[in-house]
């Protein structure tokens, strides 16, 4: 039997779950523990099939709209980490549904910024991807027409506001740092008085994971991003790897998805994971490579993370003692 070829694995750090994702998943699990099944969740709690399937097995029922939830239920209804339009909690209240808001606090920060700009009479630009649930939620914080979506640099070059001196912008939290910087620079060049966030809207987890990929992508033959196709921050990691010159950059939800022919001749592999991807899948993929290669593992770190977001009050441990 021939010896397995050597493969250097470079793990990106940080990778995987961020504080907002941990809070959202814990909210559903605590609700199941405290109130029992079912717990309804509007939209995927986070964009990861493994996580969603695991919660389904425990008794979570995922719906896209509140209309799918039975009348007169006393079961909790959880809003996903991506945030929801204002109409959703209003609808929940009108139906007397017991709702738990698992919106990431960093998304809520963007909602609040947009509301302040609106109150001050500013025309608002939202830099983001149309139809992504976070963008739908942010647009839905304010009346129709109050916020204009900017998706590309071309949009930033051509947008024609009513009053160029009374503008503000906010951004989706999971965008490419470089793409967003280009769009913001164009807006500031065209509209020098535009108001931006005090602290960047792209969240710490998105930023840190992209910085780690920027370090690793140029020095490996291939890079795998553990994440789902509908996960914005995971797709951005793959794009960052490609932009940094990595010859093979792919997204994989599970080891079974890997096209092994593409990896036959590599001698080094970077691995990262989107903010909604669990570490158990990183381990599963490493095990799959270990069956074919002799692994030599190292870690490259771009930042330390110790962020923590408290759970919604109704499912905090101390709430049980009240």
Catalytic site residue from 44, 134, 257, 291: 134
CA distance 296 to 263: 16
Residue 176 assigned to a binding site: no
> Which helix (DSSP H) or strand (DSSP E) does residue 208 occupy?
helix 204-216
Instruction: Report helix, strand and coil shares of the chain as percent, to nearest 5.
Output: 40, 20, 40
Place of tokens 């759970």: 311
Element (H, E) at 17: none
Is 203 part of any known ligand binding site? yes
Is 231 annotated as a binding-site member? yes
Residue 198 counted as an annotated binding residue: no
Q: Check whether 93 is labelled as a binding-site residue.
A: no
Annotation says 242 is catalytic:
no
As a whole number of angstroms, the longest Cα–Cα distance in the chain is 73
d(C-alpha 184, C-alpha 161), whole Å = 15
Confirm or deny that 296 is annotated as ligand binding: no
Q: Please tell me whether 130 is known to bind a ligand.
A: no
Give CA–CA dist 270/216, Å, rounded: 6
3 state SS of 167: strand
246 is in an annotated binding site: no
CA distances to 43, 47, 212, 225 from 25, in Å: 13, 11, 25, 21
The reply to whether 13 sits in an annotated binding site is no
Question: Is 233 labelled as part of a ligand binding site?
Answer: yes
Confirm or deny that 12 is annotated as ligand binding. no
Tell me the catalytic residues.
134
Output the known binding site for isopentenyl diphosphate: 47, 82, 132, 231-233, 276
Output the known binding site for [4Fe-4S] cluster: 18, 104, 203
Output the known binding site: 18, 47, 82, 104, 132, 173, 203, 231-233, 276
């Amino acid at each position: 039997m021939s010896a397995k070829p050597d493969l250097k694995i470079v793990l990106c750090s940080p990778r995987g779950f961020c504080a907002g994702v941990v809070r959202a998943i814990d909210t559903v699990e605590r609700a199941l523990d405290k109130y029992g099944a079912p717990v309804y969740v509007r939209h995927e709690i986070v964009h990861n099939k493994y996580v969603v399937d695991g919660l389904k097995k425990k008794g979570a029922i995922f719906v896209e709209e509140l209309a799918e939830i039975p009348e007169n239920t006393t079961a909790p209804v959880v809003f996903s980490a991506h945030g929801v339009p204002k109409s959703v909690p209003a609808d929940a209240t009108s139906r007397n549904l017991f709702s738990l808001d698992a919106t990431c606090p960093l998304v809520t920060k963007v909602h609040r910024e947009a509301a302040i700009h609106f109150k001050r009479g500013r025309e608002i630009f939202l830099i983001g991807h149309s139809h992504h649930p976070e963008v739908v939620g942010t647009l839905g914080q304010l009346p129709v027409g109050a916020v204009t979506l900017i998706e590309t640099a071309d949009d930033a070059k051509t947008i024609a506001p009513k009053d160029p001196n009374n503008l503000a912008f906010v951004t989706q939290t999971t965008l490419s740092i470089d793409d967003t910087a280009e769009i913001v620079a164009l807006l500031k060049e065209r509209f020098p008085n535009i108001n931006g966030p005090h602290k960047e809207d792209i969240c710490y987890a998105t930023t840190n994971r992209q910085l780690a990929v920027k370090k690793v992508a140029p020095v490996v033959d291939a890079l795998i991003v553990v994440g789902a196709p509908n996960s914005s921050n995971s797709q951005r990691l793959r794009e960052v790897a490609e932009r940094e010159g990595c010859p093979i950059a792919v997204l994989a939800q599970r080891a079974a998805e890997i096209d092994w022919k593409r990896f036959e001749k590599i001698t080094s592999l970077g691995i990262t994971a989107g903010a909604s991807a669990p570490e158990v899948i990183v381990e599963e993929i490493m095990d799959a490579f270990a069956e074919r290669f002799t692994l030599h593992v190292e870690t490259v770190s771009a930042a330390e993370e110790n962020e923590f977001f408290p759970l919604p009050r109704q499912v905090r441990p101390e709430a049980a003692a009240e």
